[in-house]
Amino acid sequence: MPDVPSPASSRASVCLLSCGRDRLRGEICPFVEGSMRRVGFARFFGILTLLVTLTPSLGFAQSQATAATLEGYVYDPTGAVVPEVTVTAVNVGTGLTRTVKTNAVGHYIIPLLPPGTYMVTFTKPGFAELKLEGIELRVGDALTVNGTLQPAGIREEVLVTAETLPLIETTRTQPGTVIDRAFIDVLPLNGRNWTELVLLTPGVTAADDFGNVSFTGVDRVFNNIQVDGADNNNAYFGEIRGRTRAPFQFSQETVQEFRVANSNFSAEFGRAAGGIVNAITRSGTNEWRGTAFYYIRDDAWNANGFFNNANNVPKPPERRQQFGGNIGGPLIRNKLFWFLNYDHQVRNEPVTVTLGARLESEIRALRGPDRELAERFFRPLVRAIPRDFDQINFFPRLDWQITPNHTLTLTHNFQQFDSRNGVFTTPTTTTNITGNAKNFTNSYTSVIALNSVITPTLLNEFRFNFVFDDTGDFANDPMLPQITVSGFNLGGRTFLHARPGDFPGRFTKERRVQWIENVSIIRGRHTIKAGFDINRIVDRNFFAQNVNGTYSFGSVADFLNGVISNYTQRFFIGDPLVRQRTMVYGFYGQDTFRLRPRWTLYYGARYELQTLPGPLVVNPLVPETGRINEDTNNVAPRLGIAISPFKNGKMVIRAGYGIFYGLTPNLMINDVLTNNNAYSINIFLSGTALAANGIVFPPITSLDPLNLSKTRFPRLETPPGGVRFADPFSDIMIFAPDRVNPYTQQANLEIEREVFPQMTVSVAYLFTRGAKISRSRNINVRPPLEGPAGVATIRVLDAEGRVVHTFLFPRIGVVSPTSLRPNPNFRQINMVESAANSIYHGMAVRINRRFHRGLSLLVSYTLSKTTDDIRNALDGRFTDILDPFNVRRDRGLSSLDERQRLVISGVWQMPFFKNASHRVLRHVLGNWSVSGIATFASGRAVTADLAGSSTDTDLNEDNVPDDRAPQWGRGAFRGPGRNQIDLSLRKRIDLAERRRLEFILQAFNLFNRPQFTGVQVDAYDATRSGGVTARVFTLRPRADFLQPIFGLRARDLQLGVRVTF
List, in order, residues 6 or more apart from 90 with CB less than 8 Å away: 96, 97, 118, 119, 120, 121
Q: Which of 164, 179, 213 is the last residue of a domain?
A: 164
* Strands 1018-1025, 945-947: pairing kind: parallel
Q: Of 423-437, 461-475, 873-887, 961-975, which range is least confident?
A: 873-887
User: Is 548 domain-assigned?
Assistant: yes
User: Is 189 domain-assigned?
Assistant: no
User: Is 207 domain-assigned?
Assistant: no
Q: Of 405-409, 638-642, 747-751, 924-928, which range is least confident?
A: 924-928
Q: For residues 953-977, give the mean pLDDT.
A: 88
Residue 882's identity, in one-letter code, is L
567 contacts 686 by C-beta, under 8 angstroms: yes
Q: For residues 195-223, give the mean pLDDT.
A: 91
Distance of CA 824 to the CA centre of its chain: 41
The DSSP output letter for 881 is -
Residue 32 burial (10 A CB sphere; 0-12, 13-18, 19+):
middle
List, in order, residues 6 or more apart from 955 with CB less than 8 Å away: 792, 794, 809, 882, 946, 963, 966, 1022, 1033
Read off the pLDDT of residues 37-94 as tens digits, 9 standing for 90 and up: 344 434 444 444 444 444 333 344 455 778 999 999 999 999 999 999 999 999 999 9
Q: What percent of the chain has pLDDT over 70?
A: 92
504 contacts 478 by C-beta, under 8 angstroms: yes
Q: What percent of the chain has pLDDT over 90?
A: 70
Read off the pLDDT of residues 602-626 as tens digits, 9 standing for 90 and up: 999 999 999 999 888 899 999 889 8
Read off the pLDDT of residues 254-267 as tens digits, 9 standing for 90 and up: 999 999 998 888 99
The count of C-alpha atoms lying within 13 angstroms of the C-alpha of 244, restricted to the half-sphere facing its C-beta, is 19
Complete DSSP assignment for 966-987: TTS-TT-EE---EEEEEEEEEE
Complete DSSP assignment for 188-239: --TT--GGGGGGGSTTEEE-SSSS-EEETTB-GGG-EEEETTEE-EETTTTE
Q: For residues 448-469, give the mean pLDDT.
A: 96
How far the first Cα of the chain sits from its last, in Å, is: 48
d(CA 494, CA 569): 9
| pLDDT for residue 35 is more than 50 | no
508 contacts 451 by C-beta, under 8 angstroms: no
List, in order, residues 6 or more apart from 884 with CB less than 8 Å away: 777, 778, 779, 781, 812, 958
pLDDT at 876: 56
pLDDT at 814: 54
* 728 CB neighbour count, 10 Å cutoff: 18
User: Is 732 domain-assigned?
Assistant: yes
Instruction: Find, among 626, 230, 734, the residue nearest to 444 by Cα.
Output: 230
The DSSP output letter for 674 is H
**pLDDT tier at 529 (50, 70, 90 boundaries)?**
very high
| pLDDT for residue 11 is more than 60 | no
User: Is 181 domain-assigned?
Assistant: no
d(CA 283, CA 94): 10
3-state SS, residue 883 = coil
Instruction: Find, among 1002, 1035, 1010, the residue nearest to 295 by Cα.
Output: 1002
The CATH number of the domain holding residue 691 is: 2.40.170.20
**pLDDT tier at 744 (50, 70, 90 boundaries)?**
very high
Bridge partners of residue 980, in order along the sequence? 935
Q: Which of 147, 164, 181 is the last residue of a domain?
A: 164
Residues 295 and 159 both lie in one domain:
no
Instruction: Find, among 725, 705, 770, the residue nearest to 489 by Cα.
Output: 705
**pLDDT tier at 727 (50, 70, 90 boundaries)?**
confident
Read off the pLDDT of residues 651-682 as tens digits, 9 standing for 90 and up: 999 999 999 999 999 999 999 999 999 999 99
The DSSP output letter for 186 is T
251 contacts 395 by C-beta, under 8 angstroms: yes
The CATH number of the domain holding residue 98 is: 2.60.40.1120
Mean pLDDT of the chain: 89
Residue 549's identity, in one-letter code, is G
With helix as H, strand as E and coil as C, how does 382-398 read? CEEECCEEEEEEEEEEE
d(CA 783, CA 582): 38
User: Is 447 domain-assigned?
Assistant: yes
Residues 735 and 882 both lie in one domain:
yes
pLDDT at 439: 93
pLDDT at 211: 75
pLDDT at 47: 44
Read off the pLDDT of residues 881-921 as tens digits, 9 standing for 90 and up: 888 888 888 899 999 999 999 999 999 999 988 877 787 78
Q: For residues 932-954, give the mean pLDDT.
A: 92
Q: For residues 525-552, give the mean pLDDT.
A: 95
Q: Which of 164, 193, 215 is the last residue of a domain?
A: 164
Count of the separate structural domains present in the chain: 2
| pLDDT for residue 24 is more than 90 | no
Phi, psi for 188 (deg, rounded to 5): -70, 125
pLDDT at 208: 77
Most confident of 32-41, 172-181, 856-865: 856-865
Read off the pLDDT of residues 227-245 as tens digits, 9 standing for 90 and up: 999 999 999 999 888 777 7
Read off the pLDDT of residues 385-414 as tens digits, 9 standing for 90 and up: 999 999 999 999 999 999 989 999 999 999
355 contacts 488 by C-beta, under 8 angstroms: yes
pLDDT at 21: 32
Residue 513 burial (10 A CB sphere; 0-12, 13-18, 19+):
middle
pLDDT at 811: 83
| pLDDT for residue 29 is more than 50 | no
List, in order, residues 6 or more apart from 309 with CB less than 8 Å away: none
User: Is 258 domain-assigned?
Assistant: no
Instruction: Find, among 275, 224, 280, 277, the residue nearest to 257 by Cα.
Output: 280
> pTM above 0.85?
yes
User: Is 617 domain-assigned?
Assistant: yes
- Structural domain including 93 reads 7-164
Residues 156 and 293 both lie in one domain:
no
